[in-house]
Amino acid sequence: MRHNPALTDGHHIQLIEGGQAYFESLTQALDQAQSHVLLETYIFDVHGAAVGVAEALERAALRGVRVWLLVDGVGTPQFPDVWRTRLEKAGVECRIYLPLGTLGLLIPSRWRRLHRKLCVVDGHTAFCGGINILDDWYDPHHGTLARPRLDFAVRAQGELVGHIQDSMAQLWWRLQGAQHARDRQIPQAWRSFKAAGLPLPWKQSPPLPDGSLPSSRAALLLRDNVLHRNQIERAYLKAIGLARHEVLIANAYFLPGRRLRQALVHAARRGVRVRLLVQGRYEYFMQYHAARPVYGTLLAAGVEIYQYDASFLHAKVAVVDAHHERPWATVGSSNLDPLSLLLAREANVAVADRVFAQGLHLRLNEVIATQSTPVAESFKHRFWHQRWRDRVAFGLMRLALFITGHRY
């Protein structure tokens, strides 16, 4: 797709913070499903609060709702046998996106992961964001957390729900067609690939009554390796380029490429207040340390960088000019790093609505003021071994990208 999709009116977009609130809203929608449910996630860890989502999928399938569940082969390498049996017995259709196989991530093409967190219920309600099906107070690598991770999602109604559903259905049919082709079931493969371009094979729920939705302008932003290679990055670049007062970005894995770095620097130099909220506690050594060498250029241009200290930051959100004439915000799964912007399948929702933008802006301001610290002084006084470690991580990241044939 050459151009970004236009933001259209007639949407209801609700901001959701944290897994607990997200799971409550999601399970409520699943329990009301009558026709079909499509769910994609990078991680589905059936532990703690996430059990409720698995049970809601099971209940939906048992009452005759068609349920498709797609998880990533790295984020969820092995779905628990007990739960996979329970869900499939209930009628849930489960699929794993690109299982790693024997050589795992030694094959560069396997780095192209499904990182989207999407759900569509009956064709009229959708969820999109950065929240995995993972208990907020638990981490598979770190165990029980002292405080819940910080993350966001949206619940949406309106035209973009159909766009989300189409994208999810196309991916499902293509994966099914590829599996049939590997099994040399050519007629079945042909039917699946053909179905990828057709409407879903079950009845759609009726649209919501006229006047039931506030007039919020919104659009779906995608990233894949075919038609939407740069859609999310272009949306960020346009929003930052049009900013006149403030850019506020909270991003878990922040390692922007040259164009994004230049856009942030130019915005700061023309008088726009640019603030970044990044991880203070990190989950992955490489992404955290590889990002730090770019801080110097941004700080020198006047960009303010804060690190979130209270727990793990997993948010991928941004707000531009929230209190002015052209507010813009985005919530989704895409980090501003090479894994998200060059390799993974991602999905964000962009919203041009003052009330929505101001709500997200207010919450991020609170987090920066009470749970974060500026990095300027600590960055300036890093020891030599810290600088060396950051440079090595940055070099290894660039080498990995070179192997995949990308420049960043």
pLDDT in tens, 377-408: 887 877 777 888 888 777 777 777 777 766 66
pLDDT of residue 202: 58
pLDDT of residue 193: 62
Q: Is the pLDDT of residue 210 over 80?
A: no
Confidence of residue 208 (pLDDT cuts 50, 70, 90): low
pLDDT of residue 326: 94
pLDDT of residue 80: 87
Dist CA 49 CA 56 (whole Å): 12
pLDDT of residue 374: 96
Query: What is the average pLDDT score of the chain?
Result: 89
Report domain extents, the chain. Answer: 19-148+159-195, 222-403
More confident residue, 95 or 190: 95
More confident residue, 269 or 285: 269
Share of the chain above pLDDT 70, in %: 91
pLDDT of residue 407: 67
More confident residue, 348 or 382: 348
Mean per-residue pLDDT, 340-358: 96
Q: Is the pLDDT of residue 209 over 50?
A: no
pLDDT, one tens digit per residue, over 131-169 is: 999 999 998 888 899 999 999 999 999 999 999 999 999
Which sequence positions are flagged as catalytic?
A: 115, 117, 122, 314, 316, 321
pLDDT of residue 52: 97
Dist CA 369 CA 363 (whole Å): 10
Share of the chain above pLDDT 90, in %: 67
pLDDT of residue 204: 54
Dist CA 95 CA 336 (whole Å): 28
Which CATH architecture is the domain 222-403 placed in? Answer: 2-Layer Sandwich (3.30)
pLDDT, one tens digit per residue, over 47-102 is: 999 999 999 999 999 999 999 999 999 999 888 899 999 999 999 999 999 988 77
Q: Is the pLDDT of residue 219 over 80?
A: yes
Confidence of residue 3 (pLDDT cuts 50, 70, 90): low
Mean per-residue pLDDT, 118-140: 96
pLDDT of residue 62: 98
Lowest mean pLDDT among 141-150, 183-192, 227-236, 363-372: 183-192
CATH 3.30.870.10 for domain 19-148+159-195: yes
Q: Identify the CA nearest to 238 among candidates 328, 362, 131, 369.
A: 328
Confidence of residue 227 (pLDDT cuts 50, 70, 90): confident
Dist CA 88 CA 94 (whole Å): 7
